[in-house]
Amino acid sequence: MSIKALLAVDGSEVSDRATDSLIALARGGAPIVLTVITVQPFMSIEAQAMHLQSYGEAAMKSARDRLDAAGIPHDTHIAMGPAGVRICEFADAGGFELLVLGTKGLGWVNTVLVGSVAKHVIESSNVPVLLVR
């Protein structure tokens, strides 16, 4: 039986380590059905039309390259809004069994409030969470 996992990434070094941890789990024999999610900040309607897809793809590039190199198939999802909220909503709606993310990520907010997304996820998620440092 496979594990339906959600990997939340933002393009950071810690995100890469979370991806590598999930790859190690899969190589260890755990069959995984994987979706990679990234969450972009709110944008105007004009900016969404022009940038949401490309910014999201850029944030997922490193994780996708690593997963492709490891031969791990995956789907992707790009969301917009408060990252912790959107990750939890998507995990709940998608029936995921495991949520994997790094303890901190990119951006000045994560520099000031270290781990704010991770903190929100572990406090709000109905899905088991694997945090990677």
pLDDT in tens, 41-65: 988 989 888 899 999 999 999 999 9
Burial tier of 67 (Cβ tally within 10 Å: 0-12, 13-18, 19+):
buried
**Tell me, what's the pLDDT at 72?**
97
pLDDT in tens, 72-102: 999 999 999 999 999 999 999 999 999 999 9
For the domain that residue 90 is a member of, what is the CATH number? 3.40.50.620
pLDDT in tens, 6-19: 999 999 999 999 99
Structural domain range at position 113? 3-132
Residue with tokens 């994987």: 34
**Tell me, what's the pLDDT at 109?**
47
- pTM (whole model) above 0.75: yes
Q: What domain count does the chain have?
A: 1
Q: Among 17-26, 35-44, 109-118, which is the least confidently predicted range?
A: 109-118
Q: How far is CA 122 from CA 2, 4, 28, 31, 84, in A?
A: 23, 18, 25, 24, 9
